[in-house]
Amino acid sequence: MDNTELLGISEADMYELLNEILHDEAAEAAAESGKSVEEELDTAGFAAAASITTYAIKLINANNAYLTRQLLDRGVLGGE
């Protein structure tokens, strides 16, 4: 592992996963409401969910960076 890699899921992969989860949830809601998936994704509830999870992803990414740094500093992870 070089010093530019972080432990955990990458930020880009977290956003991709978030989009998949929101799409799946919107599809379930759309099946119940009769709206399209896109219409459900445009509702305030889904917009709020996307917004809050964006902050959570940033927090998780910062934590991954912190943990990686701690493990590198302690020699648990080998640097080059």
d(CA 43, CA 69): 39
Q: How many CB atoms lie under 10 A from the CB of residue 14?
A: 19
- pTM across the whole model: 0.73
Nearest to 60 by CA among 19, 11, 4: 11
Q: pLDDT tens digit string along 11-54? A: 999 999 999 999 999 999 999 999 999 999 999 999 999 999 99
Interacting residues of 68 by C-beta distance below 8 A, sequence separation 6+ = 5, 6, 7, 77
Q: pLDDT tens digit string along 50-79? A: 999 999 999 999 999 999 999 999 999 875
